[in-house]
A and B are shown apart, each in its own frame.
Chain A
Amino acid sequence: AQSVAQPEDQVNVAEGNPLTVKCTYSVSGNPYLFWYVQYPNRGLQFLLKYITGDNLVKGSYGFEAEFNKSQTSFHLKKPSALVSDSALYFCAVRPNTNAGKSTFGDGTTLTVKP
């Protein structure tokens, strides 16, 4: 069975500082990995994904994530946080098979303080 762990319920950073939101996964075979963001009372929005190739993936709003196969991690990063980045972030994994479905982590609330 596949799983996703987001070990931090809450991450607090100051505006302008770098941010990291952690994600580790477990899946049979090669994974497809995704990050989504959710603002209050809204649906999830896709940020970025890792399918294959370069381990560093760049996405929307200046976010990037690094795939580390040996550590089974896919941490979300941004060099300089904005107050508007404050939201709930979800990591998701699915196996690279036709029958695969996505499994989401429990989410990490990011708060960026001015």
Chain B
Amino acid sequence: SQTIHQWPATLVQPVGSPLSLECTVEGTSNPNLYWYRQAAGRGLQLLFYSVGIGQISSEVPQNLSASRPQDRQFILSSKKLLLSDSGFYLCAWSKPDRVNTEAFFGQGTRLTVV
């Protein structure tokens, strides 16, 4: 069966520090991968999605970047965090080449920038 791992679960970082959140998927090949941010426990904002290694699409220009160094690994990064980067970050995957498939989410990372 497929599983998704996202870590860390919580993170407190000072303003101006770098960020690296990692997400890995097991049990499937060539998944579509997504990074979402959820502010204040409400709606989801799609930040990045990837359909293959090295293929990253950015949905919202901001202080963050994403990379996919391996087929089932998706990394969210920042060189210098801002207070406004605080939020709940969710990684997700969906089956490739199937538009009618649901997304499977990781457990999320609560990021607090202080």
Contact = CB atoms under 8 A, between A and B. Distances in A.
Interface of A: 32, 34, 36, 41-46, 49, 51, 88, 90, 94, 96-98, 100-102, 104-107
Contacts, number: 52
A32 B94 CA distance: 14
B90 interface: yes
Interface in B95-114: 97, 99-100, 102-108, 110
Contacts of A43: 6, 90, 92, 105-108
Given A43-B90, A88-B41, A106-B43, A32 B105 contact: no
* Residue with the highest number of chain A CB atoms closer than 10 Å, among B46, B92, B105, B107: B105
Contacts of A46: 102-104
19 contacts: A36-B102, A41-B88, A43-B6, A43-B105, A43-B106, A43-B107, A44-B92, A44-B105, A49-B100, A49-B102, A51-B100, A88-B41, A90-B44, A96-B100, A98-B99, A101-B46, A102-B46, A102-B103, A107-B43
Nearest to B97: A98
Interface of B: 6, 41-44, 46, 49, 88, 90, 92, 97, 99-100, 102-108, 110
Contact of B44 (A41, A42, A96, A104): A104
Given A41-B110, A42-B107, A98-B97, 10 more contacts: A34-B102, A36-B102, A36-B105, A43-B90, A43-B107, A49-B102, A98-B99, A100-B99, A102-B46, A107-B41
Contacts of B43: 90, 104-107
A107 B42 contact: yes
Contacts of B105: 36, 43-45
A99 to B, nearest CB: 9
Contacts of A105: 43
